[in-house]
Amino acid sequence: MNFENSSAVLLAGDSLELLKQIPDHSISLVLTDPPYHTTKKKNITNDTAFESDEDFLTWLDLYSNEWYRILRPNGSIYVYCSSAMAARIEILLMKRFNVLAHIVWTKPNDPGFDGWKQKMKKESLRQWYDHSERIIFAEPSYEGNLNKSSFGNFLKNVRLTSNISGHQLTELIGAYGKVNHGGSVHNWEAGRNIPSRDQYKKICEAILTFGIIKEMPPYEDVIRPFEVNSMVEFTDVWNFCSVRPYDGKHPAEKPIDMLEHSILSTTYEGDIVLDCFAGSG
Ligand SMILES: C[S@@+](CC[C@H](N)C(=O)[O-])C[C@H]1O[C@@H](n2cnc3c(N)ncnc32)[C@H](O)[C@@H]1O
pLDDT recorded at residue 43:
63
Question: May I ask the CATH class of domain 3-144+226-274?
Answer: alpha beta
* Statement: residue 10 has pLDDT above 80: yes
pLDDT recorded at residue 41:
67
For 23-32, how does the pLDDT look when each residue is reduced to its tens digit (9 = 90+)? 999 999 999 9
Between 181 and 143, residue with greater pLDDT: 143
For 81-131, how does the pLDDT look when each residue is reduced to its tens digit (9 = 90+)? 999 899 999 999 999 999 999 999 998 888 777 777 778 888 999 989 888
Nearest atom in ligand 1 to the alpha carbon of residue 32 is 6
Q: Residue 108 C-alpha to ligand 1 middle, in angstroms?
A: 24
Q: Which of 35-39, 42-46, 179-183, 271-275 has the highest mean pLDDT?
A: 271-275
| Confidence grade of residue 220 (pLDDT, cut at 50, 70, 90) | very high
Residue owning the nearest CA to atom 27 of ligand 1: 279
Q: Is the pTM of this model over 0.85?
A: yes
pLDDT recorded at residue 74:
96
| Confidence grade of residue 79 (pLDDT, cut at 50, 70, 90) | very high
Pocket of ligand 1 (CB under 6 A): 14-16, 33, 35, 44-46, 250, 252-254, 277, 279-280
Listed in order, the ranges of the chain carrying CATH 3.40.50.150 are: 3-144+226-274
Listed in order, the ranges of the chain carrying CATH 1.10.260.40 are: 150-222
Q: Annotate the chain with DSSP letters as a single string.
A: --EE-SS-EE--S-HHHHHTTSPTT-EEEEEE----S----SSSTTSS--SSHHHHHHHHHHHHHHHHHHEEEEEEEEEEE-HHHHHHHHHHHTTTEEEEEEEEEE--PPTTSSTTTTTS-GGG-SS----EEEEEEEEE-BTTBTT--HHHHHHHHHHHHTT--HHHHHHHHT---SS-TTHHHHHHHTTS----HHHHHHHHHHHHHTSSS-----HHHHS------TTS--SSEEE-PPPPP-TT--TTPPPHHHHHHHHHHS--TT--EE-S--TT-
pLDDT recorded at residue 266:
98
CATH topology of domain 150-222: 434 Repressor (Amino-terminal Domain) (1.10.260)
